[in-house]
Amino acid sequence: MKMFNRIALMLLVLVSCVGCDQATKQLVRARLPESVAYSYFGDVFRLQHMQNHGAFLSLGDTLSGPARFAVFTLAVGIALAAMVTYLVRKRDLAAVDVIAFSLIAGGGVGNLIDRILYAGGVTDFLNLGIGPVRTGVFNVADIAIMLGAGMLLVRGLRAARPMA
């Protein structure tokens, strides 16, 4: 993929992810009181404003403030910068790889913005489940990260499959 096309595709996905993520989080912060759950479709879908100071499923939220800053802001910021640098410099990436890595980076940037602007917390508000089986509370950035990771996983599994 040519450098201009790769960077244009990367920027399109990154800006779209960060824009959608930040717009939905701003709406949630403005309209939904914290910790109040609104249930829809027989409680399959919930809107629930939460501030998450940890990572996925609040892992690491009990770390000290400086440790959370080092891990979730500094280390993640460095990893995101490395990922974007990889996307810009790696010449032989297929479009699907650019999209997948850009989704991961876009989601990471969306959550990093929250950590920087909101005292280390990330605004989460989506929850899915049936009965007692529920996901953790998540956001649009988390969806982008998981979608990108899923794309890379499927691509890797297909590449590892022996030719018949």
Residue 61 is predicted with a pLDDT of: 83
Q: Which residues contact 92 (CB under 8 A, 6 or more apart)?
A: 1
Domain limits of the chain? 3-158
Q: Which of 21, 97, 114, 142 is catalytic?
A: 142
Helix axes 140-160, 3-31, angle to 10 degrees: 140
Q: Is the pTM of this model over 0.85?
A: yes
Using CA atoms of 157, 154, 84, 137 in order, give the dihedral in degrees to the nearest 10.
-130
pLDDT tens digit sequence for 42-99: 999 999 999 999 887 778 888 888 899 999 999 999 999 999 999 999 989 999 999 9
Yes or no: say if 99 and 9 are a contact pair by the CB < 8 Å rule: yes
> Token pair for residue 25?
């989080």
Alpha carbon distance 32, 142 (integer Å): 19
Clarify whether 124 is annotated catalytic.
yes
Alpha carbon distance 17, 148 (integer Å): 11
pLDDT band at 164 (very low <50, low <70, confident <90, very high): low
Within 10 angstroms of residue 56's Cβ, the number of other Cβ atoms is 12
First to last CA, the chain: 28
Q: What is the mean pLDDT of the chain?
A: 94
Clarify whether 142 is annotated catalytic.
yes
Among 154, 155, 119, 147, which residue's Cα sits nearest to residue 20? 147
